[in-house]
Amino acid sequence: MAEAMSNDSKHDSDWDPKAGLPSPTLPDKFSFSRTSSTGSIDNILTSSSAHNTDDEDSDHKSTISYKERRREAHTQAEQKRRDAIKKGYDDLQMLVPTCQQDSTNSFKMSKATVLQKSIDYITFLLQQKKKA
């Protein structure tokens, strides 16, 4: 800990707070001129905006909204499908006597259980029909 503080104080003694921050010196190969860098940025901005016309921007916006509409339609269709399956299970559970729950039982019967009990009941009905 003492060594870290002594190293920090060495670096602090090289810098004079009254003189301001020392300017970094860069090697010659990294020298930049303000005009050339600004000019090249202007050229990049001009050339990139020339590629995007108003027609292309409006096509891009309509493509995004088209994709959004497709996604929304798919989501709604999927929700409708899930609701139909849920209603089918609920109807099946109401029709099959072995699936009907008494009011004291508060847990919901699983879909697998509803299907299995329905199969069992239909099998029982078929056996009863054969006997008659």
CA–CA dist 48, 69 (Å, integer): 29
What's phi and psi for 45, nearest 5 deg? -65, -40
Q: Domain holding 61: CATH number?
A: 4.10.280.10
68-118 pLDDT, tens digit each: 999 999 999 999 999 999 999 999 999 999 998 765 677 889 999 999 999
Q: Is the pTM of this model over 0.85?
A: no
Per-residue pLDDT, averaged over 23-28, amounts to 52
CA–CA dist 3, 52 (Å, integer): 59
Q: Among candidates 107, 125, 128, which has minimal Cα distance to 117? A: 125
Domain that holds residue 89: 55-132
Q: Does a structural domain hold residue 65?
A: yes
Q: Provide CB contacts within 8 A for 59, sequence distance 6+.
A: none
Q: Does a structural domain hold residue 4?
A: no
Residue 67 has pLDDT above 50, yes or no: yes
